[in-house]
Amino acid sequence: MVTQITSFGRSGLYDWMMQRVSALVLSFYTVFIIGYLLLNPDLTYDQWSGLFEATWMRIFSLMVLLSIGIHSWIGLWSISTDYIKATGPRFFFQSLCGLAMFVYVVWGVQVIWGL
């Protein structure tokens, strides 16, 4: 029997909702970036840098970074509980994924906020 101890949320409904909300955030960000690139065909480094120096864009990018972590954790947790039945290897895989996501989020925060 698979327990919910390593699940992101407290229930399957919560995980499902977080998966959908994070997908929306990722979709909005993708549409925004594509739109920005299409509306600025002669984009310079200064314009691009100026966009990412704006506080609202840093917050939006941080939301996307956290959404990537949430979305990928829920997806990988679902896959690991479906296909890795033995507790030891499943725990190892989930721990490795959790550590990688933590490192990526911390690294992303450093890149976004210039820490």
CB atoms within 10 A of CB 90: 17
All structural domains of the chain, each given as residue ranges with its CATH number in brackets, are 12-113 (1.20.1300.10)
Q: Which of 87, 67, 65, 86 is nearest to 75 (CA)?
A: 67
Which residue ranges are tagged as binding site for heme?
71
Helices (H) then strands (E): counts for the chain:
4, 0
Which residue ranges are tagged as binding site for a ubiquinone?
83
CA distance 32 to 27: 9
Mean local confidence (pLDDT), 51-72: 95
pLDDT per residue over 88-102, tens digit each?
999 999 999 999 999
pLDDT per residue over 71-84, tens digit each?
999 999 999 999 99
| Mean predicted lDDT score pLDDT of the chain | 90
Q: How far out from the chain centre does Cα 64 lie?
A: 6
Which residue ranges are tagged as binding site?
71, 83
Band (pLDDT 50/70/90 cuts) for residue 10 is: low
